[in-house]
Amino acid sequence: MIDGKIFVTRELAPAVIQRLRTEFREVDVWAPYEPPTPAELADHAVGCVALLTMVSDRIDEELLNAAPTLKVVANMAVGYNNVDIIAATARGILITNTPNVLEETTADMAFGLMLAVARRVVESDSDTRAGNWGLWHPGLWLGHDVHGATLGIVGLGSIGSAVARRAKGFDMQIKYTARNRRHDSEVKVGAEFVPSLYDMLSQSDFVSLHVPLTDSTRDLISTSAFDAMKSTAYLVNTSRGDVVNTDALLAALQNGTIAGAGIDVTSPEPLTPDHPLLQQPNLVITPHIGSATHATRNRMAMLAAENAIAVCSGASALNLVGRDL
């Protein structure tokens, strides 16, 4: 039994909570649907040896100062830009994530957004529900084909490669750009490496983003990038909202610089109800649900729990991040 407390910042599957209760002396689970405020998070972190957090929980220096006994922050996400890695490392606090769990599910979402925006599924569904389905007409709700089109992937990691495999089944021409060339993936999915981001954008009918949020990828897709894209092209983003400049995206959608976009992430997140992006008919938007299936979320939660248990038991973390800092 681990002689310490873990704070879990959201309710998780009963099996995950039960697993934690078998290992930790005290398990504190945040019950409300609304997430804890920074002050509430800091208050519950007092006396903890572990935190099991979501990517929306800001783990900053102020919070870490409130939890001097903390050993590990087990983030239930692949990304960890919500955690001040430098401040945590300076205090000897380990940070873990949950990779190799959500890749296929997120790739499904990316492809779903691609199909939904190109074939105008959401627009036509809303119009039909509003009672506007009249006589059939050959010009009704025309969209663009996905099969046989050219897909440009930004970042051919595990999720990008999973998207490429799906694209192969749609007979798409696959191009990609990345910081490091992936020869093995090129062979597996038949992808063509394009060194220049803007060259790839200009050649693509669909552009799908699969990069982590770093200083070099923040606002990676801004006005100049949209200007490089075809006016008939679509952008899909299931990575991080800040990879795309929100004002530039809005302008590109309003001005017809691109045909449309399908996004699962935004900046800021969430958007305010009156945000002008939400009024754009050529945008399909979902509330960061790329990994939101029963099986995948449960696997993510259990992996985060096992990471916390391992560190607090004196074993090696299963998925340690930030070790190079």
The catalytic residue positions are 240, 269, 288
- List, in sequence order, every beta strand (DSSP E) within 165-316: 173-177, 192-193, 206-209, 234-237, 260-263, 283-285
CA–CA separation, 321 and 241 (whole Å): 21
In the DSSP assignment, the letter for residue 84 is -
The answer to whether residues 8 and 304 touch, using CB atoms and an 8 Å cutoff, is: no
Run of H or E including 106: helix 103-118
Whole-angstrom Cα distance, residue 286 to residue 261?
11
Could you give the CA distance from residue 21 to residue 292 in angstroms, rounded to a whole number? 25
Residue with token string 């036509």: 124
From residue 62, give the alpha-carbon distance in Å to each of 49, 58, 105: 16, 10, 34
Separation CA 206–CA 208 (nearest Å) = 7
Residue 140 tokens read as 């009704």
Q: How far apart are CA 68 and CA 45, in angstroms?
A: 9
| Alpha-carbon Rg for the chain in angstroms | 21
| 119, 176, 259, 281 from 145: Cα distances, Å | 7, 20, 13, 18
Which secondary structure element, helix H or strand E, spans residue 8, and what is its range? Answer: strand 2-8
